[in-house]
């Protein structure tokens, strides 16, 4: 905990020009290599993205986001466990999925601010990274190569999920 605080303090007060030497950003950059959305990025490009990603820590029971709220960010689980839940007609929660280390959730928020289709709730102490749509949009203006690689991977992921959904609904013959 104290080293985390120290890194945060150094990020702020440290040499304002030496962002590449930021150790926090380096570890985030390494983590991004294993996230499918960022897998096509080079090491330098991942560092660039790591610099605009936010670190968050969630206690068990805390919501990352809630159903019907406008989507703004995609969350990647660094460590911990998150349950995807939706309210049932009876008022209780239905558990739709559980995601853990190295997985991500809420990626559709990178495309638009349509309401979330389910809630994400931490099931254990969780460290997550948040990547915001507004930052992706800024990347499109300032570093279009990086942004187009991310959007291409996102399109592939969404396409695969659509196929899987079709198969579940209509069987493999469709």
Partner 1 sequence: MIRTEKSPAQKRRAYLLFGTFAAAFITVLVYLFVSLRPLLLPAVIGGLAAFISKPILDFLTKKHGMHRELGIFLILGLFIGIIAVVIYVVQSALPDERDKLLLRTRIQYKINERFVSFMGIDSTGEGNILYNFAGKDLAKALVSVNAKLTLSPHERDLFLSYAKGSGHNPPFDEKFMGYFQVNIANDQKRLAAPVSGDPEARSVPSEEEGQDAGESKIQLLAHVIETWILMPFVFLFLLADNGQIKRYLVGFVPNKYFEVTLIVMDKANDAIGNYLRGITLECSLVGLTFVFFLWIIGFEIKWAIIVGAIAGITTAIPIVGTIIGFIAGSGYAFLAEESCSFIPFFTANNLIIGVVLTVIIAHLLDNAVFQPIVLGGAVSLHPLVVITAIFGASLLFGPIGMLFAVPTIAILKVFFSTLFKELKAYSII
Rounded CA gap, 39 and 149, in Å?
9
> Closest approach of Cβ 70 to partner 1, in Å?
5
Rounded CA gap, 132 and 80, in Å?
21
> Closest approach of Cβ 117 to partner 1, in Å?
16
Kindly state the tokens that stand for 113. 């601010």
Among residues 56, 83, 103, 108, which is the contact residue for partner 1, using CB under 8 A?
Answer: 56
Tell me: does residue 60 bind partner 1 (CB under 8 A).
Answer: yes
> Closest approach of Cβ 99 to partner 1, in Å?
16
Instruction: List the x/- string, 64-103, binding to partner 1 by CB under 8 A.
Output: xxx-xxx-xx-----xx-----------------------
User: What is each CA distance from 159 to 35, 85, 92, in whole angstroms?
Assistant: 17, 23, 32
Cβ burial, residue 57 (10 Å; 0-12/13-18/19+): middle
Query: Cβ closer to partner 1: 133 or 157?
Result: 133
Sheet of 81-87, strand order: 63-65, 119-122, 81-87, 93-100
Sheet of 73-79, strand order: 54-58, 126-132, 73-79, 104-105
Query: Which window, 33-41, 63-71, 87-95, 97-105, contacts partner 1 (CB under 8 A)?
Result: 63-71
Rounded CA gap, 32 and 72, in Å?
19
Query: Which window, 13-21, 27-35, 38-46, 156-164, contacts partner 1 (CB under 8 A)?
Result: 13-21
Cα Rg for the chain, rounded, in angstroms? 17
Instruction: List the x/- string, 99-128, binding to partner 1 by CB under 8 A.
Output: --------------------------xxx-
Tell me: does residue 7 bind partner 1 (CB under 8 A).
Answer: no
Q: Which residues bind partner 1 (CB under 8 A)?
A: 1, 3-4, 8, 11-12, 16-17, 19, 51-52, 54-60, 62-66, 68-70, 72-73, 79-80, 125-127, 130, 132, 134, 141-143
């Amino acid at each position: 905990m104290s080293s985390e605080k120290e890194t945060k303090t150094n990020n702020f007060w440290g040499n304002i020009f030496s962002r590449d030497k930021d150790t926090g950003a380096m570890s985030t950059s390494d983590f991004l290599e294993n996230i499918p959305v960022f897998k096509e990025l080079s090491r330098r490009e991942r560092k660039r993205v790591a610099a605009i990603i936010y670190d968050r820590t969630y206690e068990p029971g805390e919501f990352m986001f809630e159903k019907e709220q406008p989507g703004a960010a995609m969350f990647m689980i660094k460590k911990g466990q998150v349950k995807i839940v939706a309210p049932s007609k009876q008022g209780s929660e239905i558990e739709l999925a559980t995601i853990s280390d190295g997985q991500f959730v809420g990626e559709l928020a990178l495309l638009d601010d349509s309401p979330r289709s389910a809630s994400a709730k931490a099931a254990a102490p969780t460290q997550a990274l948040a990547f915001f749509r507004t930052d992706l949009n800024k990347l499109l203006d300032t570093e279009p190569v990086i942004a187009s690689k991310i959007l291409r991977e996102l399109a592939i992921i969404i396409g695969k999920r659509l196929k899987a959904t079709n198969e579940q609904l209509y069987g493999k013959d469709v």
